[in-house]
Structure formats: C-alpha cells, structure tokens
Amino acid sequence: MNFWIILLIALGCATAVGASATRGEAKPNIIIIYADDLGYGDLGCYGHPSIRTPNLDRMAAEGMRFTDFYSAGEVCTPSRAALLTGRYPIRSGMCHNQFRVLRSKSKGGLPKEEVTLAELLRDRGYRTGMIGKWHLGHLPEHLPPQHGFDFYLGLPFSNDMMPTAEAPKGRAKFFAEKNEYWETPLLLGTRVLEAKPDQRTLTRRYTDEAVKFIRMNQKAPFFLYLAHTFPHVPLFASDQFHGRSPAGLYGDVVEELDWSIGQVLDQVRKSGLSGRTLVIFSSDNGPWLTYEHHGGSAGPLREGKGSTWEGGMRVPGIAWWPGRIPSGRIQREVGLTLDLFPTVAKLAGAPLSKTVLDGVDMSPLLFGTGTVNREPFLYYRGSTLYAARMGPWKAHFISQSAWGSDKPVFHDPPLLFHLGLDPGEKWNCAGTNAVVLAQIQAVVEKHRAGLVPVPTQLVETVGH
C-alpha cells in the first residue's frame, strides 16, 4: 500500500472518529441536578405564576421538558436510592413505613452490594463528583466516597435534622429564618469540614464547586451529581436573592437555584462541552405542603411530598443536550428517575450486570427517535405499594394523606383515575374499566412475586 492510500485511510478514520464524537457517540459527560422538595408547579416552564426561573425555562426551551416525569420515592432517602441504583428502594432496603428516611442517628445506609451510577461510570473511566445532600447513610462507610464518587462536598442528610439546643420547639424554628438554629455539618469526603455551616451560603458554595469540577475535568468524561439542599425547609437564600422574589422566601430560594443551574450550563458552554454533555434536572419528591408558604406547589396535581397521589411523586423533569436532544420538545410519555441508570449505562457503553433494574433505556424518548415499552410505574409509600400507573391509567390500592394522622384506606376494588382527563385525581372511574384494573393488578402481583426480601436500613440507630 503506498503512502497516499495509507494517508487517506488514516484521514478517513480520523474523520469518522470526529463525526462520531460530534454526534455525541463518544462517552458523554453526565450531569444530574436534583432539587429537594421542589414541586411540579414551582417553575415558570411548569406554569408557576410568580416564581421566576429564566435559566430552567431556557434549559427546557433548548432541550426537552417532561410532563409526566416521576421520582421513585415519595420522600428523600428512597428517591435518592432509586436515582443512583435504577431500582425501586424496596429492593435495597432504603425505605420503611414508619421512619420513611434516614435520620441523624441512623446506622444504616445504601448497601455496598448496590451498584451506583457513580461506580458504573467510574469503571468506564469517568471522573465522578457529588456535591450537595446525600441522605443515603452518614456513617463513613456509607458516604459517597464509598459509593463510587471521587469527590464529595455536601450535607450528609437534610438541613432540618439537627436543630440546635436554642431552637424553639415545634414548627416555629422553621419559620424563624435563623441559621443559628441549625447545625447539620458540611462534609468534604468523609470528614467534617464545618460543623455548623451558614445555610444561606450553601446554594452558592455548591454552585462554585460544581463549576470548578466541570472546569477541572473538561478533558476526561465526568459524572457530576449536584443535589441541592433546597427548597427543603428551613429555607435560606443568600443576600443576593433574599427578599427579591414576588413569591416570598420560597421564591427567593427557587430563584437562587435557578441561578445555579444557569451557572452550571454556562460553564458547560464555556468549556466547549455542550455537544457532549447530557444534563438532567429533577426533584426528589413533591412539595412539602404542610409548611404552607415555605413549601412549594404541585400545580394541578393532588397532594404533595410524602404521598402517592400525583403531587407527591410527579416532579419537574428537564433534559438538555444541544445537538442530540431536539430543542423545545415537550415529552408527554412517562419518564422515570429509574430510567437514568440504564440510559446512562447505554450512553457510556457500560455493560449491565444481572441485577434487576426497574427502569428502561429512555434514549428513544430523549433523542426523539421513538417510544419505549415499560412496565407500569409503581408508587411505593415506605415499603408498601399503594398505587400503579399503566399508560394514562392509575390505580390506587391504598390511599392516605401525606403527613396527617389518618390511617391508610384500602380500596377493593381499587380507585382508578385517567391521568390524561383528570390529572388532579378527582373522578374515580373503576366501575366502567374492569379490564384495565385487572391488567394493572396482574402486573402488580407479578412484581410482588419477584421481590427478594432484604432488611430495611432505616430502623437501627447508633448511640442513644
């Protein structure tokens, strides 16, 4: 073969590699931004009348906004376990009917046998960083560095879990806007960086770290999991945002989060990475309605955080990847945080183990190339299955308000709602749709029969 033929072949290969990279087929960077207790109706692009979210609105306009995107947990700990493992929390023991989440004295955490997205991607050569609220076990053996993250800075659990001795009893401390009432520590890796960080600075500090992480890792593929502490109560915003929103303090906090997303996307653009970075924005559960004006809005959906009504688990879901995800698309198919694990694995070329996964590769939805076949989505409250969605139909086997003292109500036959006609779940139509109900019940029975019992991680405590 003469020199010119070899050169032409080499150039051809280089062009093919270049074209493949520009089409995003090289390993893409993955950024997941997770808000805490942000409701379905809390963003401008989801219809909020007074909270201003220009950066998330722009992200949606440049990418895809899901109308029916779900977290697989109704509260913090289970939803985060599901996000990182692609599995219903009942499979990992990260749920419990009474305790519901890990607490500041909990002994448990995400079992080491569970494979996280960070481990999957680190094995594929990714740099992995986590910034923000973890809530999957705060003892050293459970923290992000033990679950595949090269870098970690953040709070080990919710910002309300360690009130100080001087904080008033009951709900008053939540509305007092006093940082001195709270002492949830800020960790760097597995050590305490600050025992009592100023919560007004958290959104800004997380953002600065996220921007730095992107800048420092722009040459290698990276996975960044940015899990904001807010708008979980107690609410705090920095001076730059405090008192600015027409929607009060809750609006200030969400508008600062929106600023944060703008900073992250700007850094992706500045680093020249927008053509090979998938960014997902979502929330771990619905709004905490019992905190009144310090809680958010589920928009037209019923109930909020803690419940298996739509407002508890249907959350904002925005996906952004210029050049790959069609811009300005509204996606009305169901999407799940459970889908992120198999989707990202596919994009990174990572093989899946035999572990049961509950989501599907949602690339056809994201890239506008088709639909996906999925099993009905199951709504768990703690370790009990309350409801299931198949297509537009949702059956409730049990219902209960989110936080009240009411007991669960068992429904036989189940309640049935058509979420297309009735997103607020007002009109039970079980009487005329027996076939649909039977189909949903059959799938639920199959799921139950396939569950392998594991011990819950949420009960045992350390110390007193």
Catalytic residues: 76, 135
Query: Are the C-beta atoms of residues 403 and 411 closer than 8 Å to each other?
Result: no
Give the pair of three-digit tokens for residue 456. Answer: 């819950």
Could you tell me the CA-to-CA distances from 76 to 12, 184, 378 in Å, in that order?
50, 16, 17
Does 68 help bind Mg ion (rule: CB under 5 A)? no
Query: Are the C-beta atoms of residues 357 and 341 closer than 8 Å to each other?
Result: yes
What is the nearest approach in angstroms of Mg ion to the Cβ of residue 42?
13
Nearest CA among 104, 160, 103, 157 for reference residue 135: 157
Q: In the set 255, 284, 339, 361, which binds Mg ion (CB under 5 A)?
A: 284
CA-to-CA distance for 117 and 115, rounded, in angstroms? 7
State in Å, rounded, how far the first CA of the chain is from the last one.
Answer: 78
What is the nearest approach in angstroms of Mg ion to the Cβ of residue 232?
6
What is the nearest approach in angstroms of Mg ion to the Cβ of residue 283?
7
Nearer to Mg ion, 285 or 400 (CB): 285
Cβ neighbours for 43, distance < 8 A, ≥ 6 positions apart: 51, 53, 56, 57, 254, 258, 316
Using the contact rule CB under 5 A, the part of the chain among 39-47, 112-120, 277-285, 394-402 near Mg ion is: 277-285
Q: In the set 30, 36, 146, 251, which binds Mg ion (CB under 5 A)?
A: 36
What is the nearest approach in angstroms of Mg ion to the Cβ of residue 233?
10
Nearer to Mg ion, 36 or 310 (CB): 36
Does 358 help bind Mg ion (rule: CB under 5 A)? no
Q: Taken in order 356, 358, 360, 366, is the CA torsion positive or negative?
A: negative
Reduced to 3 states (helix: H, G, I; strand: E, B; else coil), residue 183 is coil
Nearer to Mg ion, 237 or 390 (CB): 237
Number of residue whose CB is nearest Mg ion: 76
Using the contact rule CB under 5 A, the part of the chain among 69-77, 94-102, 185-193, 368-376 near Mg ion is: 69-77
Burial 100-110 (b: 16+ CB within 10 A, else e): bbbebebbbbb
Does 42 help bind Mg ion (rule: CB under 5 A)? no
Does 76 help bind Mg ion (rule: CB under 5 A)? yes
Nearer to Mg ion, 126 or 250 (CB): 250
CA-to-CA distance for 186 and 197, rounded, in angstroms? 6
Q: In the set 28, 29, 35, 37, which binds Mg ion (CB under 5 A)?
A: 37
What is the nearest approach in angstroms of Mg ion to the Cβ of residue 83?
11
Using the contact rule CB under 5 A, the part of the chain among 68-76, 97-105, 123-131, 356-364 near Mg ion is: 68-76
Q: For residue 404, which amino acid is it?
A: G
Using the contact rule CB under 5 A, the part of the chain among 177-185, 205-213, 257-265, 278-286 near Mg ion is: 278-286
Does 285 help bind Mg ion (rule: CB under 5 A)? yes
Give the pair of three-digit tokens for residue 240. Answer: 């730059």
What is the nearest approach in angstroms of Mg ion to the Cβ of residue 284?
4
DSSP label at residue 144: G
Size of the site for Mg ion (CB under 5 A): 5
Query: Are the C-beta atoms of residues 96 and 459 closer than 8 Å to each other?
Result: yes
Using the contact rule CB under 5 A, the part of the chain among 32-40, 172-180, 272-280, 364-372 near Mg ion is: 32-40
Using the contact rule CB under 5 A, the part of the chain among 30-38, 124-132, 341-349, 445-453 near Mg ion is: 30-38
Nearer to Mg ion, 214 or 338 (CB): 338
What is the nearest approach in angstroms of Mg ion to the Cβ of residue 315?
10
Residues 183-242 that bind Mg ion (CB under 5 A): none
Could you tell me the CA-to-CA distances from 171 to 96, 160, 187, 247, 314 in Å, in that order?
24, 11, 27, 21, 27
Nearer to Mg ion, 63 or 287 (CB): 287
Nearest CA among 56, 219, 29 for reference residue 117: 29
Nearer to Mg ion, 121 or 313 (CB): 313
Taking every pair of Cα atoms in the chain, the longest distance, rounded to a whole number of angstroms, is 84
Nearer to Mg ion, 76 or 345 (CB): 76
CA-to-CA distance for 281 and 30, rounded, in angstroms? 11
What is the residue whose two structure tokens read 């979502």? 282
Cβ neighbours for 373, distance < 8 A, ≥ 6 positions apart: 360
Question: Which chain residues interact with Mg ion by CB under 5 A?
Answer: 36-37, 76, 284-285
